[in-house]
Amino acid sequence: MTTKKLFWLLMALPFVLIAGWFAKNTWETQQVRTVMINQLRANGYPQAELTHISKVTRQQDFFYH
């Protein structure tokens, strides 16, 4: 491997790691939201309220993450 290729691989590494971190956090947040909504549904919350809660939490995830 030439030093030029090695240089560009090392330059790209932080971007790949950051992209992976964001993807992992997005997936974990979605899993937490799904579990929360399922628990509320099991406790008898009305569907309209569950839809509203889900919509608000998605908006908050978008704005605050």
pLDDT digits (tens, 9 = 90+) for 13-59: 999 888 888 888 888 888 888 898 899 999 998 988 888 888 888 78
In this prediction, residue 29 carries a pLDDT of 80
In the block, which residue shows the tokens 């998605």?
A: 58
Q: Which domain holds residue 45?
A: 2-64
- pLDDT computed for residue 32 by the predictor: 86
**pLDDT confidence tier of residue 62, bands split at 50, 70 and 90:** low
Residue 50: alpha-carbon gap to chain centroid: 20
Asked whether the predicted pLDDT for residue 6 surpasses 70, the reply is yes
Number of domains in the chain: 1
Neighbours of 57 (CB within 10 A): 16
Give the 3-state secondary structure of 1-56.
Answer: CCHHHHHHHHHHHHHHHHHHHHHHHHHHHHHHHHHHHHHHHHCCCCHHHHHHHHHH
